[in-house]
Chain A
Amino acid sequence: MKQEETIDKGVSRRAALKLLGAQIGLAAAGCSKPSEEIVPYVRMPERLVPGMPLRFATTLPLSGFGRGVMCTSVEGRPIKIEGNPLHPASLGATDVFAEAAVLSLYDPDRSQVVRHAGEISTWEAFAAELSAVIGNSATRGVDGLRLLTGPITSPTLLRQIGSLRNRYPKFVWHVHDPLENGAARDGAVLAFERPLLSVPQFRASDIIVSFDADPLGPGVSQIANARGLSARRRVRKSSPTSARLYVIEASPSLTGANADHRLALPPDRIAALVVGLGRQLGADLPDPHLAEAEATLLEAIHRDLAPHAGRGIVLVGPTQPAEIHAIAHWINGQIRAPVDLFEPPGNGVPPGTLSDLVRDLEAGKAESVVIIDCNPAHEAPPALGFASALRRSKFRVHVGSYADETAAICDWHIPQSHALESWSDLRAFDGTASLVQPLIAPLYATHSSHELLAILDQRGEKSDYEIVRDSWRGNAGSQDFEAWWRRALHDGVIAGSAPAKVTPSPKVPSITTLPASTRPSLVLRPDPSIFDGAFANNAWLQELPKPLTKEVWGNTVALSTADAERLGVAEGEVLRLTVDGQFIEVPARIDSRQASGVFSTTLGYGRKAAGRIGDGLGVNAYALRSAPRARRGEANWAMAPLTVSKTGERRFVPSTQHQFTLDGEPQEVFRSYTLPEFLGLRSPSDEPRLESFFPVSEGGEPRWGMVIDTSLCIGCNACVVACQVENNSPVVGPEEIALGRGMHWLRVDSYELGRDSGDRIGFQPVPCMHCEAAPCEPVCPVEASVHDSEGLNVQVYNRCIGTRFCQANCPYKVRRFNYFGYADGQEYAGLGGEVMRLHNNPDVTVRARGVMEKCTFCVQRISRARRNAEKVHRGIADGEVVTACQASCPTSAISFGDLSEPQAAVSALRKEPHHYELLGHLNTKPRTTYLAQIRNPGETTKAKP
């Protein structure tokens, strides 16, 4: 609502650069005091007060779907993304991709100019050639014009494509989605006779059974799923219940990590279990011949689902064929599962596939191809032969944020504006639409897809602003459109735009044979950090430790301990994986939680034209994707047969955690109880307090404290990136990580709790503990590490001389040292570019080389809240200070507040029976404390391997 005027009146790029100039001046100010300029505006933009941040609602895309966000902008620079509570795909939280979007915006490797045949060209030249080509085609009815895009939910884009279709009757739109779950769509067709989308409502569930699905893993509905599940797992003294999660999966996923019962099985056995469950519920299906462990687990699931009619959900993942999805739909129907079904967004005619396009290209039927915002040259299965087919077209245009692999095989490359630079709209995974509004004028001469489609449509050049508004003019109804528009922008969500739910009855597909057992097989997963590869040049994401492996800057192939022993493979040994004659060579990682006979790796790596950050990292697993097959959609997720051979090479992908098992006194580190055990716990106030030589001083008020619920933490990492963005934490690069360095203030430790704990992973976010008796403080010789009167353990960067005694003496090892000027002149790869300074949070010092830093409990946010409160002579309310990690958390696992306030949420949490201090026996009196993980396994069953 505010943004509209701001943009219209022009917080121009120049304005941003002016401030940039001031910023650089500030940064250069050293001891010798070089002169420093103040550059005021010529005309003051309305509502902008220098130094005051503004927040705007917008929407960020992921796989074509939108997640609503609130973006903080300082003097025209978007610097921080947070969740939009009103948006169904955010609910106030974020995921790693949303948090990292700001870095992509300022990425200096982004494409900045129009290129023709590799040479710098202009938009005008392109428009001229395009109209010539289209004009030429037009005389022949635009026979050969093809549009290839990624998945699209944007109503405006769909409208524009529909318009193109009307204008050129033979025009065809193709969609390429490397992460497509085709089997699910086909399964829905089998069950409902139409490709319905299904959205499970975890919030309303007691029993969740996941057959290789990963609802908590990275994806468009991750946040909503996690929010929903957390609502059913928030175990408190007052509500000692928890939903039960069964996961049967081929390779470790976040969902599996959070399971109460987990069984690792190859994909074909998982299918057998679904068939078995169908049979148990009365479907006419062949006998799956279950092994004992499988049968025991299935029995337990069946026994659990029966009494929870209407509160049980069965989910099936993309590795399963369409029939299995259909059976799951049927099962969900039988148990009245809380799953919403609705029609997928579209514009009437379903788009063609990439295979269709390749076929047409080879047949010479596609003369002109416009590729928008997708990278099939990297992602398409090699067997499809996309690149060679594309070369047969006469006119190839690529529109994208990067001059990537696909741009390299096109004649024209048009730089695309970032989502934070352009107007658009998007639908969430549940169909809710919301607007995308720019937070900054395009940094470079970039264009939006809307502008491009508009000139394709030849209805005159129009700004994306006008195009998007045109799409919604009809929606205002009786309201004044401007008011409606402002409301939609302000809320970040368009009320009533979600499609109606449908309630068809599913039917059981008729199958006679079960999927054949072919082992070893290969299972692919989207990468938890760089997803499908589109984020490959985002250094924050590349350096984000993957939740389960803690690997960064690359990918590995995971194999089970049994397979490793059988093949004689050691950690780091490079394996050659061959499928259908295509092979890749990936370093091995032995994972005890991997299903035997299954090798798994993640997609997105092996980029060749991603940029300075992403190039040459990892191995491209898309290369192993087999060509599209019926009933499995375009994108294959499980491949067999797989041939594995050793290359004799060893290569290690750097990782940030090297031991995943707890030893010594696990109770001091990570506590995990079953629900019955929880009920028997004493209240923490009954526990004896440790004695100390020193007088007890709890400090002044407010007494800031944080409580982290490890039952709720799903390990998604959003907090880690949120912290990095908020606090200007630099990236160090793979070489430094390999040396054991890194700058994340907040890390999520993951522990394998073992089979006795249901194979669950313990996720423990570890920020600074802000110990009241902080071991780091008395050892600092210069008072750089000290306490403030509100109990924060503060690190005064400008006083720090870098003895590192504090970190040596920190039992939690939460301090991070700038061995080089990671943010201060010795940046990794292109991260030192001038434009990169724009992402910095002006409220947080950019640390110099040689100083120690660490979590501050977002002291800048505390300070802002304090100043705001003090200006009007009031106290800080509970919930007024929200730390960056807390704000991002999709499960609200992190609480922060004033411990001296008995009514504060944190005070209540500290009284929970499963509350504990990390390494409490050291008597450091941490202000960050934990709630133990509560598992809810079934009583009579125990999943056996």
Chain B
Amino acid sequence: MAQLFRPGADSIARCVLIAIAVAPLVYLAVTYAVVLSPEVTGQNITITQPVPFSHEHHVGGLGLDCRFCHTGVESSAVAGLPATETCMTCHSQIWTQAEMLAPVRASFEHGVPLRWERIDRLPDYVYFDHSIHVAKGVGCTTCHGAVNEMPLMRQSAPLTMAWCLDCHRDPAPSLRPNEAIFSTSWTPPADQRDRGKTLLSENGIDVAHLADCSVCHR
């Protein structure tokens, strides 16, 4: 009887067998990498907006307080976007002819709201409340990043559940004193862990409750 297979077939057969064993692991690894990639989480991806609003200019440059525009942040679940009239408080005086502000003026004139693209997006089943975070010592830049350095706004955190839980399980490293909540320049001091612990008890944060499903999902 003649040989059915060439000598090289043995190596191929071995490779096939090994591939069968390894494929599921590779699949797992690749999907995990994809799920965490910015393409999926949206992290650091800049979205085109109707008006190229620059936080760098308004916050970093002019030093506007976050709450000037995001008025609901201390009282409501949603921080809120400014009404057109808020923009026009200044822009009826300065840059009144600027081309890039034409949509704002049109909105104000015709009463048609601006339509911004949402940047930091949580799924519908996640109930995030800005006001409680702000009240408990979580600063704006902790989640939104250094907006004062962003000419165009982008999502700076992955906003995955794991990312949320990091802080919910151990908030101490991210807590800051009340006066620094809206500061864009705050950086954790060297003894942040101790300070964070103090803030935990000062703010009455019960970490045992924070990883409950019902804290965010209902």
Give A residues with C-beta under 8 Å from B: 18, 26-27, 29, 33, 35-44, 49-52, 700, 786, 788-790, 792, 794, 796-799, 843-846, 856, 859-860, 863, 867, 870-871, 873
Known: A35-B117, A37-B115, A40-B84. 6 other contacts (CB 8 A): A35-B118, A40-B80, A700-B209, A798-B125, A859-B218, A870-B132
A-side contacts of B82, CB under 8 Å: 40
A27 to B124, alpha carbons, bound, how many Å?
7
Task: Type the 1/0 row for B58-83, where 1 means its CB is closer than 8 Å to any CB of A.
Answer: 00000000000001100111101111
Residues of chain B within 8 A of A29, CB atoms compared = 121, 123-124
Complex alpha-carbon distance, A794 and B218, angstroms = 8
Known: A33-B42, A798-B123, A843-B127. A42 touches B108 (CB 8 A): yes
Query: Would A38 and B84 count as touching, CB distance under 8 A?
Result: no
Q: Is the CB of A49 within 8 A of B80?
A: yes
B111 at interface by CB-CB < 8 Å: yes
Cβ distance B50 to chain A, nearest Cβ, rounded Å: 10
If the complex has contacts A792-B214, A873-B203, are A18 and B76 also in contact, measured as CB distance less than 8 A? Answer: no
Min CB distance, B76 to chain A, in Å? 4
In this complex, what residue of A is CB-closest to B71? A49
**In the assembly, what is the distance between CA of A33 and CA of B203, in Å?**
35
List B residues 189-208 near A (Cβ within 8 Å).
203-204, 206, 208
B136 within 8 A of A: yes
Q: Is A33 touching B121 in the complex (CB atoms < 8 A)?
A: yes
Name the B residues within 8 Å of A863 (CB-CB).
127, 214-215, 218
**B188 CB within 8 Å of chain A:** no
Which one of A18, A860, A871 contacts B135 once the chains associate, using CB atoms below 8 Å?
Answer: A871
12 chain-A/chain-B pairs, Cβ below 8 angstroms: A38-B116, A38-B117, A49-B71, A49-B72, A52-B77, A700-B209, A796-B217, A856-B214, A863-B214, A870-B135, A871-B131, A871-B135
The proximity string for B residues 107-150 relative to A, scoring 1 for CB distances below 8 Å and 0 otherwise, is: 11001111111100101110101011001100000000000000
With A52-B76, A844-B218, A863-B214: A41-B113 Cβ-Cβ less than 8 Å: yes
Q: Is B213 an interface residue (CB 8 A)?
A: yes
Residues on B with beta carbons closer than 8 Å to the beta carbon of A38: 81, 115-118
Q: How far is the CB of A44 from chain B (nearest CB, A)?
A: 4
B125:A797 contact, CB within 8 angstroms:
yes
Instruction: Give the residue of A37, A700, A844 whose beta carbon is less than 8 angstroms from that of B116.
Output: A37
Q: Which A-chain residue is minimally distant from B213 (CB atoms)?
A: A796
Indicate whether A860 sits within 8 Å of B118 (C-beta atoms), given known contacts A42-B83, A43-B85: no
A-chain residues with CB within 8 Å of residue B85 when the two chains form the complex: 42-44
Residues of the A chain whose Cβ atoms lie less than 8 Å from the Cβ of B132:
867, 870-871
Min Cβ gap B56→A in Å is 20
B212 within 8 A of A: yes
**List of B residues within 8 angstroms of A798 by Cβ:** 123, 125, 217
- Asked if A49 and B42 sit within 8 Å, CB to CB, the answer is no
Shortest beta-carbon contacts, A-B, top 5: A788-B212, A51-B76, A51-B78, A40-B81, A798-B125
CB within 8 Å of A: which B142-170 residues: none
Residue contact B121 to A39, C-beta cutoff 8 Å: no
**Does the CB pair A789–B124 fall under 8 Å?**
no
Q: Is the CB of B214 within 8 A of A859?
A: yes
Which residue in chain A gives the minimum CB-CB distance to B121? A36
Q: State in angstroms the CA–CA spacing of A43 and B108 once bound together.
A: 8
In the complex the two chains form, is B214's CB within 8 Å of A42's CB? no
Q: Is the CB of A18 within 8 A of B113?
A: yes
Which residues on A sit within 8 Å (CB–CB) of B215? 788, 863
For the complex, what is the distance from the CA of A797 to the CA of B129, rounded to whole Å?
19
Docked pose: A27 CA to B76 CA in angstroms: 21
- A50-B218 contact given A29-B121, A796-B213, A871-B132, CB 8 Å threshold: no
Which among A27, A42, A796, A859 has the highest number of chain B CB atoms within 10 Å?
A42
Q: How far is the CA of A235 from the CA of B154 in the complex (A)?
A: 62
Inter-chain contact A51/B80, CB cutoff 8 Å: yes
Residues of B within 8 A of A860 (CB): 127, 218
Chain A, Cβ-Cβ closest to B77? A51
| Complex CA distance for A548 and B184, rounded to whole angstroms | 63
Q: Which of B75, B203, B214 contacts A52 (CB 8 A)?
A: B75
Report the minimal beta-carbon distance from B147 to chain A, rounded to whole angstroms.
16
Q: Separation in Å of the B177 CB from the closest CB of chain A?
A: 15
In the complex, A843 Cα to B113 Cα: how many Å? Answer: 25
Chain B residues in 8 Å Cβ range of A700: 206, 208-209
Picked from B72, B129, B214, the residue with its CB within 8 Å of the CB of A788 is: B214
* Chain B residues near A36 (CB-CB < 8 A): 117-118, 121
Q: Which residue of B lies closest to A43 (CB)?
A: B85
Chain B residues with Cβ under 8 A from A846's Cβ? 124
> Are A797 and B217 within 8 A (Cβ)?
yes
Known: A843-B127, A845-B218. A786 touches B136 (CB 8 A): no
Given A27-B124, A29-B123, A49-B71, CB of A794 within 8 Å of CB of B112: no
| Shortest Cβ distance from residue B78 to the other chain A in the assembled complex, whole angstroms | 4
Identify B83's interface contact among A26, A44, A796, A870, CB under 8 A. A44
Contact A873 B217 (CB under 8 A): no
Q: Output the nearest chain A residue to B74 by Cβ-Cβ distance.
A: A871
Distance of A26 Cα from B42 Cα, bound (Å): 16
Q: Which residues of A sit under 8 angstroms from B76, Cβ to Cβ?
A: 49-52
| Separation of A36 and B217 alpha carbons in the complex (Å) | 21
Q: For residue A797, which residue of chain B has the nearest CB?
A: B125
Which residues of chain B are near A867, meaning CB under 8 Å? Answer: 129, 131-132
- In the assembled complex, the CB of B107 is this many whole angstroms from the nearest CB of chain A, namely 6
A794 CA to B212 CA, complexed, in Å: 9
Q: Contact between A39 and B213 (Cβ–Cβ < 8 Å)?
A: no
Partner among B84, B116, B218 whose Cβ is within 8 Å of the Cβ of A43: B84
Closest to A794 in B: B214
Q: Are B129 and A37 in contact (CB under 8 A)?
A: no
Query: Cβ of B42: which chain A residues have Cβ within 8 Å of it?
Result: 33
Find chain A residues with CB under 8 A from B124 CB.
Answer: 26-27, 29, 845-846
Min C-beta distance of B40 to chain A, whole Å? 8
Most buried by A among B117, B129, B213: B213
Closest to B125 in A: A798
Are A50 and B72 CB-contacts (below 8 A) given A40-B116, A797-B217?
Answer: yes
User: Do A870 and B136 contact each other (CB < 8 Å), given the known contacts A52-B76, A790-B209?
Assistant: yes
Q: Which residue of B lies closest to A783 (CB)?
A: B213
Task: From A36, A846, A856, A867, name the one whose CB has the most chain B CB atoms within 10 angstroms.
Answer: A867
**Chain B nearest Cβ from A806, distance in angstroms:** 14
Within 8 A of A (CB), among B79-104: 80-86
For residue B21, give the distance in angstroms from its CB to the closest CB of chain A. Answer: 26
A702 → chain B, closest Cβ, in Å? 10
B residues near A50, Cβ cutoff 8 Å: 72, 76, 78, 80
Please name all residues of chain A whose beta carbon is closer than 8 Å to the beta carbon of B214 when the two chains form the complex.
788, 790, 792, 794, 856, 859, 863
In the complex the two chains form, what is the Cα distance from A922 to B65 in whole Å?
58
Q: In the complex the two chains form, what is the Cα distance from A700 to B212 in whole Å?
A: 11
- Interchain CB contact under 8 A, A873 and B218: no
CA distance A777 to B84 in the complex (A): 49
Contact A40 B113 (CB under 8 A): yes
CB distance from B114 to the nearest CB of A (A): 7
When distances are taken between beta carbons in the complex, the residues of chain B under 8 Å from A40 are 80-84, 113-114, 116
State the CA gap A33–B76 with chains docked (Å): 25
> Within 8 Å CB of B218, what residues of A?
794, 843-845, 856, 859-860, 863
Give the complex CA separation of A33 and B135 in angstroms: 30
The residue in A33, A40, A860 that gathers the most chain B C-beta atoms within 10 A of its C-beta is A40
Name which residue of chain B comes closest to A873, CB basis: B204
Select which of B72, B204, B209 is within 8 A of A51 by beta carbon.
B72
B90 to chain A, nearest CB (A): 16
A18 to B83 alpha-carbon distance, docked (Å): 13
Query: Which of B116, B125, B135, B218 gathers most chain A CB within 10 Å?
Result: B218
- Please measure, in the bound complex, the distance between the C-alpha atom of A856 and the C-alpha atom of B214, giving whole angstroms: 9
Chain A residue at minimum C-beta to C-beta distance from B78: A51
B75 CB contacts on chain A under 8 angstroms: 49, 52
Chain B residues positioned under 8 Å from A44 (CB to CB)? 71, 83, 85-86
Tell me the smallest distance from the CB of A217 to a CB of chain B, in Å.
Answer: 35
Please report the C-alpha to C-alpha distance between residue A589 and residue B173 in the assembled complex, in whole angstroms. Answer: 67
